[in-house]
Amino acid sequence: MINKVERLEDELKSLKKLPKRPNLKASKLDEDRTNKPKEKRGRQTGKRKKKESLEIHEVKEIKIEGLSEDWRLIGHEKHVRQDFIVQANNIEYVLEIWENPEGEKRVAKLPVHLQHTHFGGTLKAFIIHQYFECGVTQPLILSSLKDYGVDISAGQINGILTGNKKFFHLEKETLLSTAIKLNEELRTDDTGARHKFRNGFCNCINSSLFTYFKSTYSKSRINFLEILRQSRSDYQINEASLSYIKKEQYSSKYYQILKQSYDSGDRVFENKASLENYYRSKGIKAKYAIKQITEALLIGTIVNHGFDVNTIIHSDGAGQFNIFIHALCWKHAERPLVQLKYYNPIQGEQLEKKQMEYWQLYQALKTYKENPDKKTALQLRQRFDELCTNVLNYASLNKVLNILKKKKDELLVVLDHPNASLHNNNSESDIREYAKRRKISSGTRSENGRKARDTFLSLKKTCRKLNVSFWDYLRDRILNQNNIPPLGNIMTKKHQQSLA
């Protein structure tokens, strides 16, 4: 239901003659459209016995008062009640000071996580958890901590959220590098993410094992390739970059320039400055040429550093993600078909028939993933061609079908790679976190804030996928307990288990 704010936004858009809010409904591709009678659900029995698995932290015995002496105790009846302790816990650490006969003094040291700070690890974890997991604003965190008896300022809360997070940033980067090593299918999407009062973008790369967020001011293909390159700064000419130029059918003139440089051994440019010098030396000035060559060199770089050219990049169809083996989302591709209108009963029947064929083909692909074979794959390709066959006297439907036909190879990637996903809903679900953040805050104002937002939301989503408590993870890392293995190691273990 559209709330008051959204209605006002729609009215402003109408007055300014801006596009209306898209009315996108949830896809029904995974719903059962058969006429089978639905199973009647009886009363649920065998509920999970929650209290049996609860850890008991304290036992209190309750006595009966006022009994006469002829009563005798015959047993106890147990009742477990869950409760929670929320209070300040100020600790004074008394450090020993020793002195030797020569007058040299040595003072005991605080644990590492307590050095150069006024706050303990659990309090820091609580603040980070409240902000990134629960979406509580910094002013409300400050207010609640004051109620609990914690003496802390707004600046100190901001410092705990954004400052000195190098270890967390490094672990976040291992998520993407581990996924690349494991040759995971990379599902991706992007959304708006304001920074320093400017409109920016956040790119989400994920799989069933991890989620990785990266915010920038661009959503181009070069930006996406730089994200895959991660912390490296080099550009390389190699077979992969030359193949990319040919595949994208870019100018043969620039292919020859790169080929000559490759043959002469001029193959690696350490950073952007050296690459710009190369462009000047070769007389390359056109913006489109610089863009195309930079894309090719970034492809060469990430491939040289271990990226498999057979990696599946699954997206909703945005052009910047159309690299390597590009797979498209069936639920996004269905939207134009669902939104079509018809103007007579015949068109209504034609549209309903095509929608049912689309649904049936999607169900057949789901079945194929479980038991793939070449004969079935050929039949499914033929069914896709039949789906895209034009109908009589319905131009708008034929237009949609022609667009689907052009996307055939990208929609049917699953026939050659049965592990590929059929839809991109997980990326949309993960990136919805940024839509929620936009409602809480207009954006980040410092580079540390932007990095912290990307890092902790990445770690939170990944913990959830790996069945790791985000709260336990935060305490483990901040308190230097190291009871939880690196998330990259957990990803590797789960990947190997899925292959077994």
pLDDT in tens, 290-330: 999 999 999 999 999 999 999 999 999 999 999 999 999 99
Residues 453-458 have a mean pLDDT of 96
- Which CA distances in Å does 73 have to 64, 65, 68, 80, 401? 10, 13, 12, 21, 81
Sequence-distant (≥ 6) Cβ neighbours of residue 274 within 8 angstroms: none
pTM of the full structure: 0.88
Note the pLDDT of residue 37. Answer: 60
Same domain, residue pair 199 and 302: yes
**Total number of residues shown for the chain:** 500
Decide if 208 is inside a domain: yes
Query: Which run of H or of E encompasses 212?
Result: strand 211-216
Average pLDDT over residues 216-242: 95
1: pLDDT strictly greater than 50: no
Residues 212 and 276 in one domain: yes
pLDDT of 45 > 70? The answer is no
Question: Do 313 and 456 reside in the same domain of the chain?
Answer: yes
pLDDT digits (tens, 9 = 90+) for 359-392: 999 999 999 999 999 999 999 999 999 999 999 9
Read off the pLDDT of each residue in 336-340 and give the average, rounded to a whole number.
Answer: 92
Q: At which of 383, 416, 449 does a domain end?
A: 416
Nearest partner of 29 among 428, 426, 422, 432, judged by Cα: 422
The answer to whether residues 295 and 187 belong to one domain is yes
Residue 46 confidence (pLDDT) above 70 = no
18 band by pLDDT with thresholds 50, 70 and 90: low
Question: Is position 97 within any domain?
Answer: no
At residue 499, the pLDDT reads 87
Q: How far apart are the first and last CA of the chain?
A: 46
pLDDT-based confidence at residue 157 (cuts at 50, 70, 90): very high
Domain that includes residue 409, residue range: 330-416
Looking at the structure, tell me whether residues 226 and 287 fall in a common domain.
yes
Domains identified in the chain, total number: 2
Same domain, 310 and 442: yes
Longest Cα separation, the chain:
108
Q: Is residue 482 part of a domain?
A: no
Rounded Cα distance between 338 and 4, Å, is 28
Greater confidence, 36 or 42?
A: 36
pLDDT in tens, 164-202: 999 999 999 999 999 999 999 999 999 999 899 899 999
User: Which tens digits make up the pLDDT trace of 60-85?
Assistant: 999 998 899 889 999 999 888 888 88
Distances from the Cα of 383 to the Cα of 360, 389, 412, angstroms: 10, 10, 11
Same domain for 400 and 365, yes or no, is yes
Residue 257 within any structural domain of the chain: yes
Residue 421 domain flag:
no
The verdict on residue 5 lying in a domain is no
pLDDT of 486 strictly over 50: yes
- Say if residue 194 is in the same domain as residue 292: yes
Residue 374: per-residue pLDDT: 93
Residue 309 shares a structural domain with residue 442: yes
Residues 314 and 342 grouped into a single domain: no
Which of 352, 383, 416 finishes a domain?
416
- The Cα 491–Cα 177 span in angstroms is 11
Same domain, 294 and 335: no
Share of the chain above pLDDT 70, in %: 92
Q: Is residue 471 a part of any domain in this protein?
A: no
Quick one: 291 and 381 in the same domain?
A: no
| Residue 292 is assigned to a structural domain of this protein | yes
Q: Which residues of 392-412 are buried (b: 16+ CB within 10 A; e: fewer)?
A: eebeebbebbeebeeeeebbb
